[in-house]
Amino acid sequence: MRGPLIVIGDAMLDIDLEGDADRLMPDAPVPVLDNLVETARPGGAALAAAMAARDGHDVVLITALGDDEAGERLEQLLDGVEVCRLRYDGATSVKQRVRADGQSLLRLDSGGCAGRITESAHGWVALGRAAAAVLVSDYGRGMTSLPGLREALGLLPQRVAVTWDPHPRGSHPVAGARLVTPNEAEATTFGSRLGVEVPPGTSGLAAVGRRADGLVSGWEAQAVAVTLGKRGALLSYGDGVPVVTPAPSVHCIDSCGAGDRFAVTAALSLGEGQLTTEAVHAGVMDAAAYVAAGGPAALRSPDRSEASSQGSRTAEEVIARTVSQGGAVVATGGCFDLLHAGHVATLRAARSLGDCLVVCLNSDESVRRLKGPSRPLVPAVDRAKVLEALECVDAVIVFDEDTPVHVLGRLKPHIWAKGGDYAGAQVPESAVLEQWGGQAVILPYLQGRSTTQLVRIAAEAAPSQVNASAAAQPDVNTRKESS
């Protein structure tokens, strides 16, 4: 992006107290937790800022923190974030979740309501003029109602894309916001306040769409995206047919923070110049990936800014879950440049050998070294997305070396499935698999299917035929959006 992401909103300290629950109290039917482990992380607007920083972006967080231990601890957790800390004469907001075996039992909230912000944010908000995007993360704790803040924020949509993640206890978005991101329950509450009418008997997506249309008008926003949890998100421009982005099916471990992940990705995408529909789609995909990786647990993993680390985190989460359930982990690898029927057949066969399939994908530089300077035809980020969309693929990890030996040493799959013409020959990765008792196998390969063949066929096509085909296709991306 051409500038930083400015995050404005209510920050808090989130603390998880995790323990083992294998017995009940003798005097009450409540669990007894042993072996408690405390984990602290940023929450609220601070979580949004931390996510963006882990994505590798420059981030400025404008928030109010108390002069207390919780405030200092929270600021120390915000590694890589420039914190513009406003003075607050109360206690820093703290949310403590008591959990056992991944299940939340109780939440204890303290601070953040009785105090007053004693410093104007107007000067800090001026930083937004140099920002690539602004995200307002409203948790109803007072930041968005500061005197002068709304006036300053109201000028920003003329210069930068403002994404507003609202809260029922907070302020309504400023007019002209590029995107407002309530969840379904919030959209219902806000719609009632604004008098949005939903005809009797209207339910499901039809009701969500009506409310979203009304919120666009009532808030004078450019667009409203209502997040629908595992169903994805509905995007409305206030008129016409809404755009619905379904979420991929994932195993939800802990959904805490999924809404923040959606809003952060959408804001960053808008800051990079993407269309609102593209930003919402990216937000849905990243929120699903965040949940699949363990939700808040993913924040303790390596930075997302490294492609290989991003894949490793997701792959390792899938592998850990599979192994904990006594399942067999299968891995395969390749360039997968222009996915074709031969690839799909091999992937399906590999998945049938075990309980999860991890694909080790050659990075762009690795493909160039192996295939020549004209390859890959498709960048690694898109190749990974196509593979992840296949039902038979559970995770994708990108590696930079010429062979996946190093990444296999980290993942330690039970089975390494190799497609192609290795029958009767030694599979190069066999030696490393033997170190932990893994097994390399050969899978049949569909003859006559290859990326090289597809490239040759495309190159031999008559230019006139290619041009005629392109001319016959309608332009489906003609909607104009203001910058």
| Spatial CB neighbours of 369, under 8 Å, sequence gap ≥ 6 | 402
Q: How far apart are the first and last CA of the chain?
A: 15
pTM confidence score: 0.65
- Residue 130: φ, ψ to 5°: -100, 5
Does the pLDDT of residue 176 top 90, yes or no? yes
Does the pLDDT of residue 117 top 80, yes or no? no
Q: From CA 183, how far away is CA 231, in angstroms rounded?
A: 11
Residue 129 pLDDT class (50, 70, 90 cuts) = low
Q: Which of 3-17, 128-142, 189-203, 253-267 has the lowest average pLDDT? A: 128-142
Could you please report the per-residue DSSP string of 275-315?
Answer: -HHHHHHHHHHHHHHHHHTTGGGGGGSPPTTSHHHHHHHHH
Residue with more model confidence, 355 or 151? 355
- Per-residue pLDDT reduced to its tens digit, 132-174: 899 999 998 888 877 777 777 777 777 789 999 999 998 899 9
- Per-residue pLDDT reduced to its tens digit, 325-347: 889 999 999 888 878 788 888 89
pLDDT number for residue 301: 41
- Per-residue pLDDT reduced to its tens digit, 383-434: 888 898 888 999 999 998 888 999 999 899 999 988 765 544 567 788 899 8
Beta strand pairing status for 59-66 and 133-137?
A: unpaired
Average pLDDT across the chain, whole number? 83
pLDDT number for residue 389: 85
Residue 18 pLDDT class (50, 70, 90 cuts) = confident
As a whole number of Å, the CA-based R_g of the chain is: 25
pLDDT number for residue 15: 92
Q: From CA 128, how far away is CA 368, in angstroms rounded?
A: 40
Range list of H helices, 32-165: 45-54, 69-77, 122-125, 149-155
258: its two tokens: 């999924």
Residue 118 pLDDT class (50, 70, 90 cuts) = low
The 8-class DSSP code of residue 166 comes to -
Does the pLDDT of residue 482 top 70, yes or no? no
146: exposed, middle or buried (C-beta count within 10 Å: 0-12, 13-18, 19+)?
A: buried
Does the pLDDT of residue 302 top 50, yes or no? no
Active-site residue 22, yes or no? no
Q: From CA 27, how far away is CA 34, in angstroms rounded?
A: 17
Residue with more model confidence, 27 or 483? 27
Picking from 230, 217, 48, the residue whose alpha carbon sits closest to that of residue 139 is 48
- Maximum average pLDDT range among 20-34, 103-117, 256-270, 421-435: 256-270
Residue with more model confidence, 164 or 252? 164
pLDDT number for residue 114: 64
Mean pLDDT of 38-53: 93
Picking from 257, 283, 258, the residue whose alpha carbon sits closest to that of residue 269 is 283
Does the pLDDT of residue 119 top 60, yes or no? yes
| Spatial CB neighbours of 248, under 8 Å, sequence gap ≥ 6 | 285, 288, 388, 389
Q: Which of 181-195, 197-211, 433-447 has the lowest average pLDDT? A: 433-447
**Residue among 254, 260, 364, 394 flagged as catalytic:** 260
The SS3 of residue 8 is strand
Does the pLDDT of residue 39 top 50, yes or no? yes
Cα atoms in the Cβ-side hemisphere of radius 13 Å centred on 74: 30
Which domains, and CATH codes, for the chain?
A: 5-24+36-296 (3.40.1190.20), 306-457 (3.40.50.620)
